[in-house]
Amino acid sequence: MSLSKAIAGGALAAAVYFYAPGVLEHEVVACLQSDSVIKSAKPVLVLVGSVLGVTAAVLGLLVLVLGAFYGTLITGNSFDIDAFVGQQPSMMQKAQVVLLHYANVGSHRADKTTVLALEDAESPFVPGLRVTSLKGTREAAAPFVPDSSIVVATIRMGFGHHRIAYAATSWALATNKTTYFHDLLNIDSSEATLIKEMDKLYSKGSRLATELGGPVERLWGALTKNGDENSLRIFYQMAEHLRPLMQAIPRSTPIITSHCFAGMLAISLGFK
């Protein structure tokens, strides 16, 4: 009996079991028995069942282990996302947050107290707009002293975020208030590097998923494209690692953001 025939017989038996157990069971079993398919297929099915069972057990254990770290992960957060969404995450959701968070930040430790001093200079592209940077990194820059101003915060990850940010600055400039363009990647720091590395990881994962296609691409899409409560938890947890990038901005300053990390960061810091 060939292996392909045995597998075909097993697949047919499985189809009968799941879709029509009471209609075709006796006829199909009789047919298979007459060709000795069941006997030949049994070792293969036992092996496949064993592999699937062990895999499911390992994955289940991994979910439990990762999910157990969720409480530790969110300890010390300045904002309660679970209370905000009105939902306590399931064990699977907790595991997903923990897994993707450490994939994003690696060994980087959140620094919630350091204040990175800023400076600003005239934008070479938009008249009247001030562009921020880390103090001491740009010539002819002035100390960042926002007074009755508006800050537009963004991240240079794709042209779309910048396009939205520049549109917001045109509105802000029309109010005759000093307007600052605060690109988080302009602030040379380990936090800015963290954003760049995460963007590289995402781009690499997207390219690999596209090349492999099929189930891998669907899995990648499920992990990265959903916009549910768990996405909010993952993005916010990342923002907790970026606090030094906006610590120097007074909390009473009106702030507009065109990237989710910048918005989550403003929430983490208590901007109103």
Concatenated DSSP letters of 76-145:
T-SS-HHHHHT-PPPHHHHHHHHHHHHHHHTTPPP-SS----EEEEE-SSSTT-EEEEETTSSTT-EE--
User: Are 225 and 206 contacting, i.e. CB atoms less than 8 angstroms apart?
Assistant: no
Helices 25-34 and 3-19, axial angle in degrees (round to 10): 170
HSE-CB of 59 using CA atoms within 13 angstroms: 8
- Tokens representing 156 are 């240079």
Q: What is the pLDDT along the chain (272 residues), one digit of tens a residue?
A: 454 444 444 444 444 444 444 544 555 455 555 556 556 666 777 778 888 888 888 889 999 999 999 999 999 999 999 999 999 999 999 999 999 899 889 889 999 999 999 999 999 999 999 999 999 999 889 999 998 899 999 998 877 888 999 999 999 999 999 999 999 999 999 999 999 998 888 888 888 888 888 887 887 777 777 778 999 999 999 999 999 999 999 999 999 999 999 999 999 999 97
Secondary structure class of 179 (helix, strand, coil)? strand
pTM of the predicted protein model: 0.77
Please tell me the predicted confidence (pLDDT) of residue 48: 81
154 near 259, Cβ under 8 Å? yes
pLDDT at 201: 84
pLDDT of residue 198: 87
Residue 51, pLDDT score: 84
Strands (E), the chain: 118-122, 130-134, 142-143, 149-154, 178-183, 255-257
Rounded CA-CA distance 56/148 in Å is 58
